[in-house]
Amino acid sequence: MGKSVLMQGNQAVAEAALAAGVKFCAGYPITPASEAMEILAGKLPAVGGRFIQMEDELASIGAIIGASAVGKKAMTITSGPGFSLMQENLGYASMIEMPIVIYNAQRVGPSTGGATKPQQGDMMQSRWGSHGDSPRIVLCPGTIREAYELTIQAFNLSETYMTPVIIMADQLLAHNRENVVLPEPGSIKLVSRRTDAVPKTEYLPYRVDKTGIPVLPPFGGGYRYNMSGMIHGENGIPDLSAQTIDTCIRRINRKLERYRDDIVRVEHIEKEGAKTAVLVYGSPNRPAKGAVEAAAKLGIPTDFIRPITIWPFPDKEVRAVAERVDKIIVAEMNLGQITDVVRAAVEGRAEVIPFNKVNSMPITVAEILELIKKAVA
């Protein structure tokens, strides 16, 4: 085991990004995410990397797409208003299949909202904010240790599947502190993008092999390809024929469907005899577990399920819980952005009970415990 370090959530993300091999970060200061940028600005030059403060968030995501195109692991850091500005280029990165990582420490919205207050109001935007069917992976840590682990996983997934990966935290996780036991140097599994492209004379950038994932060598190495946001065929050249449109859209989305079981992570705690389950994600993780433990002491066994991967959504795992229980309480700091996704997943097998809190105050053990008691009354 490595050493134990008292870490802020934003610090954990920044330190994990360095451990994952990030070499470029571009961003615009924004509360509650700025500390992560400040750390990377100070430490990237020491490892041969660069940080650039951009003029805005739209430029920030554009810059990291360019850095990734030349072979560097790249990320940007933001919160709700800045994340909104990134959506067009997020779709562009999905279309050209360029690996990037985005860290979003959510805050109260909409608009400028409340910069120093927590909310989980960007969950649907993280999947559907960009127009069209544009694939991306979304991870949601529930502890600061997990923020460290998932940041490394975000870079690995991005490089493996050649797609954007988003880390969705919130103000509570971003600014809280806890002891994190860091892994020993050299013990972390890191993934770099494939370099086994066919010879240049045979190369087509979007011709995929049995993996279904393109091989895009870094610019500057002699391989040439277009990075067009328009629908394109295997050669990367825009092509708006009906067949190419269908093939292109289906292929960039199918790769995440194909590897769904390798991507999706869920925490599930089963309690024998449970008739109710609590589903949360992100920082409500701890109060929800506290409520489940308190309910057990009252003789009310309650299942706990927490999607760690939000997109692709763990519908099979949630459906399996619905086969065990009669009711699923979904507690989230928004007006129900994931509740309807849960309803669709359970397909009527269990009643879905929403608990939606948007007043910027954390969800509490007492609130969830009261919901559990009402559910079994």
pLDDT at 294 over 90: yes
24: CB partners within 8 A, 6+ apart: 44, 49, 50, 51, 52, 63, 64, 67, 68, 72, 73, 74, 75
> What is the C-alpha separation between 230 and 255, in angstroms, rounded?
19
18-32 pLDDT per residue, tens? 999 999 999 999 999
Q: Cβ(107)–Cβ(80) under 8 Å? A: yes
Residue 231 has pLDDT above 70, yes or no: yes
Question: Is pLDDT of 3 > 90?
Answer: no
What's the mean pLDDT in 173-187? 91
Tokens 């493996």 locate to: 160
Which of these, 305, 307, 352, lies nearest to 328 by C-alpha position?
A: 352
For the chain, how far is it from start to end, CA to CA, in angstroms?
A: 46
- Asked if residue 238 has a cis previous peptide bond (ω within 30° of 0), the answer is no
Q: Report, as an integer, the average pLDDT of 246-274.
A: 97
pLDDT, tens digit, 9 for 90 and up, residues 326-376: 999 999 999 999 999 999 999 999 999 999 999 999 999 999 999 999 999
Query: What is the pTM assigned to this prediction?
Result: 0.96
Cis ω before 110 (30° cut-off from 0)? yes
Assign 100 a pLDDT band (cuts: 50, 70, 90): very high
* Domains 4-181 and 268-376 in one fold: yes
| Percent over 70 (pLDDT), the chain | 100
Q: What percent of the chain has pLDDT over 90?
A: 95
- Name the residue ranges covered by the structural domains of the chain: 4-181, 268-376
Cβ-based burial of 201 (10 A; exposed 0-12, middle 13-18, buried ≥19):
exposed
Q: State the DSSP string of 110-169.
A: STT-BTTS---TTHHHHHHSSSSS---EEE--SSHHHHHHHHHHHHHHHHHHTS-EEEEE
- CA 319 to chain CA centroid, Å, is 21
Average confidence score pLDDT of the chain:
96
Band of the pLDDT at 67, cuts 50, 70, 90? very high
Cα gap 73→158, rounded to integer Å: 9
Residue 83 has pLDDT above 80, yes or no: yes
Structure tokens at 52: 């650039």
CA proximity to 170, closest of 303, 286, 75 = 286
d(CA 44, CA 349): 50
For residue 312, cis peptide bond before it (omega within 30 degrees of 0): yes
Query: What kind of fold does domain 268-376 have according to CATH?
Result: Rossmann fold (3.40.50)
Nearest in space to 171 (alpha carbons), one of 106, 114, 121: 106
**Mode of pairing for the β-strands spanning 177-181 and 266-269:** unpaired
| 1 pLDDT higher than 70 | no
Q: Is 67 helix (H, G, I), strand (E, B) or coil?
A: helix
Whether 103 has a pLDDT exceeding 70, the answer reads yes
CATH of the structural domain 4-181, one choice from 1.10.357.10, 3.40.120.10, 3.40.50.970, 3.30.230.70:
3.40.50.970
H runs (alpha helix) in the chain: 9-20, 34-43, 57-69, 80-85, 87-96, 123-128, 144-161, 171-175, 242-258, 260-263, 285-297, 315-324, 339-346, 365-376
| Average pLDDT over every residue of 237-247 | 97
The pLDDT of residue 2 is 77
Q: What pLDDT digit, counting tens, does each position of 118-170 carry?
A: 999 999 999 999 999 999 999 999 999 999 999 999 999 999 999 999 999 99
What's the pLDDT score for residue 184?
85
Closest-CA residue to 137 (of 156, 163, 103, 160): 163
Write down the pLDDT at residue 221: 86
The strand pairing partners of 165, in sequence order, are 101, 137
Answer whether residue 213 shows pLDDT above 70: yes
